[in-house]
């Protein structure tokens, strides 16, 4: 399936390629491969479609890949194990696309916060007063610059945890890595949908609905673990075994992530506000 397709136009006779001046016998130049109609009155929707296709691989694989990712936890990772790779969007490309979209939405939501209303708010750090607005804006600038890359660095560590907890499955590290990429892609897409809802709607959801939204990623993770790691070796004898392993993996992961995040934050304060650290 091609996006934003248009009815074929007839090729004039005796034309030459506008790129390399080679006589053309068909729509595409046999010398350089350029389309004869390239740049000739391309409709805006088709132009946008071409950009999206090249940047995010928006073709027939995308809807199917996203559907399986969202509603069938662990399925895409199992398909990768079976060697069914080309029929789906590349996991790394899908992950990077989801990461960029998620953080773009995060910054849109942050921009909607009216920081100017807090211009007179100060707080103390290391015995010094600091304006809240300047501090927050500086922190957000740092976060917007490095957060996507930092989140990408956590992926190998998460895969290592899976390799340690499921070493009996005899998976290669790359298989744990693929599962990790698929799961984090789901997290970014799921979180992006929530952020989009927050951007366009200001309604307050009931508590039971908020609880479901919070628990959904955890449930997804448990189901994905159970499905993927039962595919090759049936060493998970019950759902309870999957649950306690998922809880321990999650706790260890967030503990390490928190320590690293706090360390980066302290380093940021030390570099940006050295006088505060000196007096603390």
113-143: buried (b, 16+ CB within 10 Å) or exposed (e) per residue? eeeeeeeeeeeeeeeeeeeebebeeeebeeb
Place of tokens 């010094």: 128
3-state secondary structure of 49: helix
pLDDT at position 87 is 84
Ordered by start, the domain boundaries in the chain are 1-56, 60-279
Show pLDDT as tens, one digit a residue, over the chain (280 residues): 444 344 555 666 778 887 788 888 887 887 887 777 665 545 545 554 555 555 555 567 888 899 999 999 999 998 888 888 888 888 888 888 888 888 888 777 766 554 444 444 444 444 455 556 556 666 666 666 677 777 788 899 999 999 988 887 778 888 899 999 999 999 999 999 988 888 787 777 788 888 888 899 999 999 999 888 865 544 545 777 888 888 899 899 989 888 887 787 778 777 766 665 555 5
165, 249 Cβ separation under 8 angstroms: yes
Q: Say which DSSP state 32 is in.
A: T
Q: How many CA atoms lie within 13 A of 270 on its CB side?
A: 6
Half-sphere exposure of 129 (CA within 13 A, CB side): 4
Task: Indicate left, alpha or beta for 73 from its phi (over 0: left) and psi (-120 to 50: alpha).
Answer: beta
Rg over alpha carbons for the chain, rounded to the nearest Å, is 25
The answer for residues whose C-beta is within 8 angstroms of residue 191's C-beta and 6 or more apart is 102
Confidence at residue 186, expressed as pLDDT on a 0 to 100 scale = 95
| pLDDT for position 126 | 47
Whether the CB-CB separation of 134 and 230 falls below 8 Å is answered with: no
The two tokens of residue 267 are: 């380093």
């Amino acid at each position: 399936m091609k996006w934003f397709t248009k009815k074929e136009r007839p090729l004039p006779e005796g034309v030459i390629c506008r790129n390399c001046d080679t006589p053309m016998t068909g729509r595409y130049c046999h010398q350089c491969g350029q389309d004869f109609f390239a740049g000739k009155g391309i409709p805006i929707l088709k132009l946008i479609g071409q950009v999206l296709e090249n940047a995010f691989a928006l073709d027939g694989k995308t809807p199917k890949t996203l559907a399986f990712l969202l509603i069938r936890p662990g399925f895409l990772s199992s398909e990768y194990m079976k060697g069914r790779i080309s029929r789906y969007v590349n996991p790394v490309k899908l992950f990077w696309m989801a990461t960029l979209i998620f953080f773009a939405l995060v910054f849109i939501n942050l921009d909607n916060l009216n920081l100017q209303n807090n211009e007179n708010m100060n707080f103390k750090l290391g015995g010094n007063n600091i304006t809240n607005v300047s501090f927050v804006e500086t922190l957000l600038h740092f976060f917007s610059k490095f957060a996507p890359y930092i989140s990408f660095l956590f992926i190998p560590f998460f895969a290592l945890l899976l390799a340690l907890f499921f070493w009996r499955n005899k998976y290669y590290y790359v298989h744990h890595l693929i599962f990790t990429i698929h799961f984090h892609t789901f997290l970014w897409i799921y979180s992006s949908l929530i952020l989009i809802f927050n951007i366009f709607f200001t309604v307050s959801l009931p508590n039971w609905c908020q609880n479901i939204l919070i628990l959904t990623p955890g449930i997804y993770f448990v189901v994905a673990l159970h499905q993927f790691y039962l595919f090759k070796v049936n060493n998970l004898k019950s759902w309870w075994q999957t649950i306690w392993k998922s809880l321990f993996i999650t706790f260890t992961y967030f503990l390490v992530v928190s320590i690293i995040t706090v360390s980066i934050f302290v380093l940021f304060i030390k570099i940006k506000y050295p006088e505060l650290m000196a007096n603390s």
